[in-house]
Structure 1
């Protein structure tokens, strides 16, 4: 068996949305940038709109032409619970201001021993968070 390095980080996250134009506009405002890709996937089984985030991370919005009636997201179901965007503790107040300016409801800054975060939801009710790990004092 070959030697493996540490477990690799994430390169992208893709979520399924019910209204691609509305979600694209919402995420464009949140990210402050336009998508870098907007196309039907070559197999024709889904359409994806992809944003490029800091650190080389990609964030995709998908629609599936063969899907039935869309349901609202519920983290209590098996699957995704939430997506957290990393930031520093000092950046959290700025994200509160940004969410307020965009009219996006949020829970304010919550602090815990494992870090601090701001929880909010997208148009499909998908749970999102700005998360700041605790500052190391060592």
Structure 2
């Protein structure tokens, strides 16, 4: 039996409106869903990305810890969006146009990527496997 693909990723954010605007600019599209979840424990906005992947932003009714995201803590390290190697320079330009700080294109034997962070400091990456 083959292991199933990921269908969605959801991250918790501190300011849903600000993060929704930021991701709308990054993705170049608006959320397809913006609602209180049925249980009443969180509100989410959800984006539909190419390939059928969903990306959600959550805020919870119960407050959580006030500390900032840190990929060295057990849990999420980063999220990577699949791109072709020939698209990396275009994404660098797009991030620059949006005023999003990044480290430029980095190359390694396992692939190439551009690292950047969202408004909550969550580590994100555009990643291209080796040619």
Q: TM-score range by the shorter chain?
A: over 0.9
Partner SS, residue 20 of structure 2:
helix
For residue 16 of structure 1, what is the aligned residue in structure 2? Answer: 12
For residue 119 of structure 2, what is the aligned residue in structure 1? Answer: 123
Q: Distance in 1 between the 2:3 and 2:64 partners?
A: 36
**Which sections of structure 2, spanning at least 5 residues, go unmatched?**
none
Q: Distance in 2 between the 1:68 and 1:74 partners?
A: 15
Structure 1 residue 87 and structure 2 residue 83: aligned?
yes
CA RMSD of aligned residues (A): 0.8
How far off is 1:61 after superposition?
0.1
Q: 2:21 aligns with which of 16, 22, 25?
A: 25
- Superposition TM-score, scaled by structure 1 size: 0.93
Aligned residues: 131
Partner SS, residue 116 of structure 2:
strand
For residue 62 of structure 2, what is the aligned residue in structure 1? Answer: 66
**Considering only CA atoms, is the larger Rg found in Structure 1 or Structure 2?**
1
For residue 31 of structure 2, what is the aligned residue in structure 1? Answer: 35
Q: Distance in 2 between the 1:68 and 1:109 partners?
A: 34
- Superposition TM-score, scaled by structure 2 size: 0.98
